[in-house]
Amino acid sequence: MLVVMQAHATEEQVRAVCRKIESLGYRAHPMPGAQRTAVCVTGNRGEVEAGTLEEMAGVQELIRVSKPYKLVSRDFKEENTVITFPGTDAAIGGPGLAIIAGPCAIESREQAFAAAERVSRAGAQFFRGGAYKPRTSPYSFQGLGEQGLQIMAELRDKFGMKIVTEAIDNESLELVEQYADVVQIGARNMQNFSLLKRAGRCRKPVMVKRGMSATLEEFLMAAEYVMSEGNYNVILCERGVRTFADHTRNTLDLSVVPAVQRLSHLPIVVDPSHGTGKRNKVTPLSRAAIAVGADGLLVEVHPEPDQALSDGMQSLYPDQFDELMTQVRQIAPVVGRTVAATSTRETAAVVSS
Amino acid sequence: MLVVMQAHATEEQVRAVCRKIESLGYRAHPMPGAQRTAVCVTGNRGEVEAGTLEEMAGVQELIRVSKPYKLVSRDFKEENTVITFPGTDAAIGGPGLAIIAGPCAIESREQAFAAAERVSRAGAQFFRGGAYKPRTSPYSFQGLGEQGLQIMAELRDKFGMKIVTEAIDNESLELVEQYADVVQIGARNMQNFSLLKRAGRCRKPVMVKRGMSATLEEFLMAAEYVMSEGNYNVILCERGVRTFADHTRNTLDLSVVPAVQRLSHLPIVVDPSHGTGKRNKVTPLSRAAIAVGADGLLVEVHPEPDQALSDGMQSLYPDQFDELMTQVRQIAPVVGRTVAATSTRETAAVVSS
Amino acid sequence: MLVVMQAHATEEQVRAVCRKIESLGYRAHPMPGAQRTAVCVTGNRGEVEAGTLEEMAGVQELIRVSKPYKLVSRDFKEENTVITFPGTDAAIGGPGLAIIAGPCAIESREQAFAAAERVSRAGAQFFRGGAYKPRTSPYSFQGLGEQGLQIMAELRDKFGMKIVTEAIDNESLELVEQYADVVQIGARNMQNFSLLKRAGRCRKPVMVKRGMSATLEEFLMAAEYVMSEGNYNVILCERGVRTFADHTRNTLDLSVVPAVQRLSHLPIVVDPSHGTGKRNKVTPLSRAAIAVGADGLLVEVHPEPDQALSDGMQSLYPDQFDELMTQVRQIAPVVGRTVAATSTRETAAVVSS
Amino acid sequence: MLVVMQAHATEEQVRAVCRKIESLGYRAHPMPGAQRTAVCVTGNRGEVEAGTLEEMAGVQELIRVSKPYKLVSRDFKEENTVITFPGTDAAIGGPGLAIIAGPCAIESREQAFAAAERVSRAGAQFFRGGAYKPRTSPYSFQGLGEQGLQIMAELRDKFGMKIVTEAIDNESLELVEQYADVVQIGARNMQNFSLLKRAGRCRKPVMVKRGMSATLEEFLMAAEYVMSEGNYNVILCERGVRTFADHTRNTLDLSVVPAVQRLSHLPIVVDPSHGTGKRNKVTPLSRAAIAVGADGLLVEVHPEPDQALSDGMQSLYPDQFDELMTQVRQIAPVVGRTVAATSTRETAAVVSS
């Protein structure tokens, strides 16, 4: 249920409505909007009894939400959610595209810094790198763990980039939350509801990747799990779905971008690296992702893809990423978007080092 | 097998090689290239015996082609195939994007002309419209048949557009071939090998739409069927594949565009109307299709979508198509493409009418 | 629309109703049932006007059919359709299981006879063999054509088997219809509506194989196409659908068997050979098909699978087919089915030859 | 790598080999077989150096395992794994079929006991019931938690059934491990590698359900994760995969049963309830599962399906389960299997209560 407050309702009136909702055993999610504040009521006890809520001061109307997703829905919040990072101009969901780049896994300080230097210089404001890797085989490289997180923290200081990295369970989330700027929940964990709830109690924005065979509704419900625990800074990420097609590792479903944007206020980015699994398809599909209206890209870039411990086949060479950024800069304005300038500071830093 | 001729081989030497191949019971497909002519040998008797071919005058080398597709392959023809239409500047596969637009089905002269006037004015050089409709139900509207073809022929004269329309069997192909500029083979017939062979003997270019669950190789083999009969003017069309995803009617697989272009010299266009099945997704996916590098678009536009006898849900309003064209014009140069100017002649025609 | 006649309606009354329907421009399909005759009205002009039909002598009630399939539906015909073959005890859809076995393609008289002798001896009453083969590549063996049909006709005389073979276009259907006992429409042609209509005008029963990505409704509509032209002897065949799973060539969807039986009166058989693509999976999935309630099996058996010109990997050795039949005989009674006895006549014939 | 010991190798020699392997930084998995003991070497440091291992006393040969799964493979253990439950005759993987039945979720003591009484009486030796439910929506009933586990523990005492129930994270696994006889890992967690590893350190057998879009290899690798931590009692469960087909909730892939049995020694059971999502399909697909060769069934039975808090649509009525068991008993002997007798003790217990 949605409690829509009057345009002139006071903060105290909103607080009173929230207290009332909590006293009934539900959870209240107040969301200030451009016109008015709405309070979403959630809880797993079925139908909410409107009761005296309707009569409270400042309440304009009660709206029953028939969709399974509530907090995620544009019914709850009409304006796009823009996720900002205090002290920087980086943002996800605003007019500027969020370019998130870096290697699949952090393998060493050298590799991470080499990647960061290049992607930062090319204009990426976000660095991606795995410290905890969900691998199909228990015998494959599983990531450097906390050491990987420490390398990324150093990297943030040096290059001024925001760090996006995956948590694979409650234990790793505990650490990722301390080091990272955005906590990534991987495709294989999109319906690990326990982890989603834990992410909903973390203080950092959460990026939820679409599961390999997740429907649009399941994708949105994963975000709803995070939001239902009080963390409203959620980013969705399309990374390809599993089909019969065998010319790419997954089938990148770009139509989900306008579909999400129609139903939800949350930002959505696209990962063409996992979405195709083939280096030579990453740039064309990145162009397509921007053209379709995505809020950003998540791209794998490795200083030496042929030596990568994981996903080398789909990682771009740094020069290819430069070229990709050039093309993205050309398409962005067509869809009313901007891209951060190439980092001259970092270029200078590199020259002097 | 591929017989590569020397750079200075004479036409008579090429003809002699072809005669030799035919005398061995195979079929010879000579293909002049920028550097040299190659002759592809096909036939279903298994391995070709090199025999005396290697020793013939003008022959440089014999190359065994291990891929199942031969004529379709870039090994056979390195340069992109550009399909031209004598007496006009319309082309498919060249630097200019091929914009093919019109209603799902021709319903009446009025409807067809209203659609043609608008899409022509907006810059489409190709008109699409179904006269023979493959419908899931035998009780649904099956198209106007030859009468529909006649309407389109009139339309070509009035608006100077090229006509693209579907043949659903040998009988309809006989007629379509007479009236149309491009013969379309629909997704449901992509493995109707009998129809593909017949299309291979027709004198018009053939557009083959990807089957709902066709792999890349099967898609290329459908084109190979057409080419194996001697018709080398084949256009491929991605129109979405069937997956578990339910937010769109099909899942548009844009990654197949660079995948086709890597392996084949044939042009490939994208149909975002069937590819999504939802009007509000057509424009974003059209932008993405151009950005990914497609050679053109196949878009359903209906003067009154709500009255359409088929596929109304996915047909654009003419005003939406105008807007789509504006966006396509902005993205085209980023990928080195041009779009035909809006038709001032037709605007004039309309104004005066 | 369904015109339900009174239990005591005379044949002349039924004929009068049919004449009236035809005079209105529709097609009438009278179907005598155990209790009463129903007349189904089809045609592609949308809603049928009940008009004076309701008032005609012998008419009990008019029922509007909301499902897209009408003739296929149990609403139209409650009792299972049993397809019989005059002069023999072979049947499809009755208590006896229909076992259809033989090689993928007829390669020679020797191969066909060797296969027929063995499958007949093991209890198969139907022989399958392709004379016209739809192949992914134009350069693969395409079948022996009419010569293959003649070999099967001989075989029918010698072994007393019914012949099931595929038609791939109107031309081949013309011939298949003359030689075969059941005309097969392959998976790739399940939505070749022109061919389905032609099959609907043929005098032999038609077996429609499910398309690789056909939904249940599309599968039933393919049968509806055949029936709408007046041929009510249709057999459905599940042969696996295309999914991401890569341990079998297709994913055999046995749940479609009870799903079809719930909605339709038509018999349905299962093809575990194409359904798995792997010889070692054919027997277990055959057992499962019988256990799930299928009306029969379509199994590939080749005297020398390793020498087969097509589909060798999925063809059983004759000894394996013997073993399969032994297991089928044991499961059949559990689901209330019988299997024809092993052919002692043929064993004798073989011994004496 | 596999270290194959000589047939007469002593236990001390096997232990010495294991110590050597551990000293090299790998993990040793000794597995006594009918003929000889094999020791599998695992660890995520890449290639194992054979070094001095080959020369050790009692070692016959070293075999490099090229498949990604090692402990799961028949190369490591040729004989079928049979999971037994001390003090009872219940087993999974032996000649007796494992019938696991009960409601989707434990809703109350009454509901659980009512279900247990009926399924036990009909011959099920295992009771399934969810205490922790992974639900698509955070607002849906999430299970009774530990209270549910306590109810099942009581139930075990009363009916002598083994308890199978799901753990959804490390916390719930801690508790499930204490109460249950088999720990279930659900389809959505099949690639929750952290949970799989934790399950590998638990003292109870683990049942891994196939993920919605898991390939055979990924399915086996999930089991490998559990085994790599030292828990060799793993049961696989096919529960349907996600495809385009819409007549069932999932598409039950019975071909995976013989596919698993060919590659692995682990038992595999089938869940026709989730596999179809429709009550009327559960019995036919259960028959098919037994016929295909599965080691057992996992079936949802609810005393009042229409009142169920989850999955009511796919739960059998107790009478339907009785009927299902009757049919299973008839098919079992055809595939060389037995089914536990109907529980007269329980019938008595019920009568006297």
Q: What angle do CA C95, C252, C210 make, to 5 degrees?
A: 75
From the CA of D83, how many Å to the nearest CA of chain C? Answer: 23
Band (pLDDT 50/70/90 cuts) for residue C222 is very high
Q: DSSP labels for B200-227?
A: HTSSS-EEEEPPTT--HHHHHHHHHHHH
From the CA of A333, how many Å to the nearest CA of chain B? Answer: 9
**Amino acid at residue number C46:** G
Q: What is the pLDDT of residue B32?
A: 86
> Does residue C216 contact residue D246 with C-beta atoms inside 8 Å?
yes
Q: What is the pLDDT of residue A45?
A: 66
d(CA B31, CA B137): 43
What pLDDT, in 10s, does the model give residues D78-98? 999 999 998 888 999 999 999
Contacts of A218 in chain D (CB under 8 A): 136
Contacts of A276 in chain B (CB under 8 A): 255
Joined tokens for residue B80: 């992109």
* Residue D313 buriedness (CB in 10 A; 0-12 / 13-18 / 19+): middle
Contacts of A293 in chain B (CB under 8 A): 284, 287
> Does residue C235 contact residue C182 with C-beta atoms inside 8 Å?
yes
> Does residue B257 contact residue B289 with C-beta atoms inside 8 Å?
yes
Q: DSSP labels for A302-326?
A: -SSGGG-SS-GGGPBPHHHHHHHHH
What pLDDT, in 10s, does the model give residues C280-298? 999 999 999 999 999 999 9
Joined tokens for residue D27: 């993990």
Under DSSP, is residue D268 helix (H, G, I), strand (E, B) or coil?
Answer: strand
What pLDDT, in 10s, does the model give residues B276-318? 999 999 999 999 999 999 999 999 999 999 888 888 899 999 9
What pLDDT, in 10s, does the model give residues C23-65? 888 899 998 888 889 999 988 666 677 678 888 999 999 988 8
Joined tokens for residue A163: 């760090």
Question: 3-state SS string over chain C?
Answer: CEEEECCCCCHHHHHHHHHHHHHCCCEEEEEECCCCEEEEEECCCCCCCCHHHHHCCCEEEEECCCCCCCCCECCCCCCCCCEECCCCCCEECCCECEEEEECCECCCHHHHHHHHHHHHHCCCCEEECECCCCCCCCCCCCCCCHHHHHHHHHHHHHHCCEEEEECCCHHHHHHHHHHCCEEEECHHHCCCHHHHHHHHCCCCCEEEECCCCCCHHHHHHHHHHHHHCCCCCEEEEECCECCCCCCCCCECCCCHHHHHHHHECCCEEECHHHHHCCHHHHHHHHHHHHHHCCCEEEEEECCCHHHCCCCHHHCECHHHHHHHHHHHHHHHHHHCCECCCCCHHHHHHHHHC
List all residues 6 or more positions away from B342 whose beta carbon is below 8 Å from its beta carbon: B121, B122, B123, B325
Mutate which: A248, A334, A337, A339, vs B, most B CBs within 10 A: A334
From the CA of C321, how many Å to the nearest CA of chain D? Answer: 16
Contacts of B48 in chain C (CB under 8 A): none
Annotate C104-142 with b (16+ C-beta within 10 A) or e (fewer).
bbbbeeebbbbbbbbbbbbbbbbbbbbbbbbbbbbbebb
Contact D224 A140 (CB under 8 A): no
Count Cα neighbours of A34 within 13 Å in the Cβ-side half-sphere: 4
User: Which chains have 3+ CB pairs within 8 A of A?
Assistant: B, C, D
From the CA of D47, how many Å to the nearest CA of chain A? Answer: 10
3-state helix, strand, coil in chain D (%, to 5): 40, 20, 40
What pLDDT, in 10s, does the model give residues C123-179? 999 999 999 999 999 988 899 999 999 999 999 999 999 999 999 999 999 999 999
Contact B284 A276 (CB under 8 A): no
% of residues, chain B, pLDDT over 70: 95
Query: How far is the CA of A322 from the CAs of A118, A124, A276, A329, D331, in angstroms?
Result: 8, 10, 19, 11, 64
Task: Give the residue on B whose Cα is nearest the Cα of C250.
Answer: B213
Q: What angle do CA C141, C146, C151 make, to 5 degrees?
A: 95
Contact A284 B262 (CB under 8 A): no
Contacts of A248 in chain B (CB under 8 A): 255, 259
Task: Compute CA D92 distance to the chain's CA centroid, rounded to the nearest angstrom.
Answer: 8
Joined tokens for residue A251: 């089938």
From the CA of B6, how many Å to the nearest CA of chain C? Answer: 27
Closest Cβ–Cβ partner in C70, C136, C142 for B44: C142
Q: Is A350's pLDDT higher than 60?
A: no
d(CA A16, CA C346): 90
Mean pLDDT value across residues B52-70: 88
**H or E stretch at B199:** helix B193-200
> Does residue A320 contact residue A279 with C-beta atoms inside 8 Å?
yes
What pLDDT, in 10s, does the model give residues A215-256? 999 999 999 999 999 999 999 999 999 999 999 999 999 999
Joined tokens for residue B67: 């891929």
d(CA D299, CA A190): 26
Mutate which: D191, D209, D244, D246, vs A, most A CBs within 10 A: D191
User: Which chains have 3+ CB pairs within 8 A of D?
Assistant: A, B, C
> Does residue C309 contact residue C107 with C-beta atoms inside 8 Å?
yes
Q: Phi and psi (nearest 5°) for A27?
A: -110, 140
Task: Give the residue on B whose Cα is nearest the Cα of A242.
Answer: B243
Contacts of A242 in chain C (CB under 8 A): 244
Count Cα neighbours of A272 within 13 Å in the Cβ-side half-sphere: 28
Q: Is A200's pLDDT higher than 90?
A: yes
From the CA of D333, how many Å to the nearest CA of chain A? Answer: 37
Q: Is A349's pLDDT higher than 70?
A: no
Contacts of C325 in chain D (CB under 8 A): none
Structure ipTM: 0.92
What pLDDT, in 10s, does the model give residues B125-183? 999 999 999 999 998 889 999 999 999 999 999 999 999 999 999 999 999 999 999 99
Q: What is the pLDDT of residue A241?
A: 98
CATH homologous superfamily of B83-352 equals: Aldolase class I (3.20.20.70)
What pLDDT, in 10s, does the model give residues C87-114? 888 999 999 999 999 999 999 999 999 9
Under DSSP, is residue B251 helix (H, G, I), strand (E, B) or coil?
Answer: strand
> Does residue D191 contact residue D173 with C-beta atoms inside 8 Å?
no
From the CA of A28, how many Å to the nearest CA of chain D? Answer: 13
User: Which chains have 3+ CB pairs within 8 A of B?
Assistant: A, C, D
Strands of chain B, DSSP E: 2-5, 27-32, 37-42, 59-63, 83-84, 91-92, 98-102, 126-128, 162-166, 182-185, 206-209, 234-238, 268-270, 296-300
3-state helix, strand, coil in chain A (%, to 5): 40, 20, 40
Q: Residue with structure tokens 């209270």?
A: D147
On the question of a common fold for D2-63 and D83-352, the answer reads: no
Query: What letter would DSSP give residue D342?
Result: P
Q: What is the pLDDT of residue A221?
A: 97
Interface of C with D (CB under 8 A): 213, 215-216, 241, 243-248, 251-259, 262, 275-276, 280-281, 284-285, 287-293, 327, 330-331, 334-335
List all residues 6 or more positions away from B252 whose beta carbon is below 8 Å from its beta carbon: A253, A254, A255, B238, B239, B240, B270, B272, B275, B276, B285, B289
Contact B242 C42 (CB under 8 A): no
User: For all residues of chain B together, what is the average pLDDT?
Assistant: 92
d(CA A287, CA B331): 10
d(CA B261, CA C79): 54
* Residue A61 buriedness (CB in 10 A; 0-12 / 13-18 / 19+): exposed
CATH fold group of domain B2-63: Alpha-Beta Plaits (3.30.70)
Count Cα neighbours of B353 within 13 Å in the Cβ-side half-sphere: 10
Q: What is the pLDDT of residue B44?
A: 62
Q: Which residue has the higher pLDDT, A350 or A46?
A: A46
> Does residue C73 contact residue C228 with C-beta atoms inside 8 Å?
no
From the CA of B158, how many Å to the nearest CA of chain A? Answer: 34
> Does residue B303 contact residue B263 with C-beta atoms inside 8 Å?
no
Task: Give the residue on C whose Cα is nearest the Cα of A243.
Answer: C244
Joined tokens for residue C176: 């298949």
Q: Is A25's pLDDT higher than 90?
A: no
Contact A242 C242 (CB under 8 A): no
Question: 3-state SS string over B78-96?
Answer: CCCCCEECCCCCCEECCCE
Interface of B with C (CB under 8 A): 42-44, 68, 70, 134-142, 168-172, 188-189, 191-195, 197, 212-213, 217-218, 221, 224-225, 228, 242
Task: Give the residue on A whose Cα is nearest the Cα of C242.
Answer: A244
Closest Cβ–Cβ partner in A213, A255, A330 for B334: A330
Q: What is the pLDDT of residue A44?
A: 62
From the CA of B243, how many Å to the nearest CA of chain D? Answer: 5
Contact A169 D218 (CB under 8 A): no
Under DSSP, is residue D105 helix (H, G, I), strand (E, B) or coil?
Answer: strand
C101 conformational bin, left if phi > 0, alpha if psi -120 to 50, beta if neither: beta
Closest Cβ–Cβ partner in A246, A262, A292 for B287: A292
Mean pLDDT value across residues C220-242: 97
Q: Is D344's pLDDT higher than 70?
A: no
Q: Phi and psi (nearest 5°) for D62?
A: -110, 135
> Does residue A213 contact residue D212 with C-beta atoms inside 8 Å?
yes
Contacts of B287 in chain A (CB under 8 A): 291-293, 334-335
Interface of D with A (CB under 8 A): 42-44, 68, 70, 134-142, 168-172, 188-189, 191-195, 197, 212-213, 217-218, 221, 224-225, 228, 242
d(CA D132, CA B313): 42
Contacts of A40 in chain D (CB under 8 A): none
From the CA of B45, how many Å to the nearest CA of chain C? Answer: 7
Band (pLDDT 50/70/90 cuts) for residue D343 is low
Q: What is the pLDDT of residue D66?
A: 80
> Which residues are paired to A334 by β-bridges?
none
Closest Cβ–Cβ partner in B135, B192, B212 for C192: B192
Band (pLDDT 50/70/90 cuts) for residue C353 is very low
% of residues, chain B, pLDDT over 90: 80
Contacts of A213 in chain D (CB under 8 A): 212-213, 242
d(CA D274, CA D278): 8
Band (pLDDT 50/70/90 cuts) for residue D353 is very low
Q: Is B347's pLDDT higher than 50?
A: no
Closest by CA to B309, choosing from B148, B171, B156, is: B148
Contact A195 D224 (CB under 8 A): no
% of residues, chain D, pLDDT over 90: 81
Contacts of B243 in chain D (CB under 8 A): 244
**Amino acid at residue number B327:** Q
d(CA B303, CA B307): 9
From the CA of B324, how many Å to the nearest CA of chain A? Answer: 12
**H or E stretch at D40:** strand D37-42
Q: Is D229's pLDDT higher than 70?
A: yes
* Other CB atoms within 10 Å distance of the CB of residue C25: 9
d(CA B304, CA B281): 18
Closest by CA to B132, choosing from B117, B120, B147, B111, is: B147
What pLDDT, in 10s, does the model give residues A109-151? 999 999 999 999 999 999 999 999 999 999 888 999 999 999 9
Contacts of B201 in chain C (CB under 8 A): none
Q: Where are the domains of chain B?
A: 2-63, 83-352
From the CA of D325, how many Å to the nearest CA of chain C? Answer: 12
CB pairs under 8 A between B and C: 93
Q: What is the pLDDT of residue C157?
A: 94
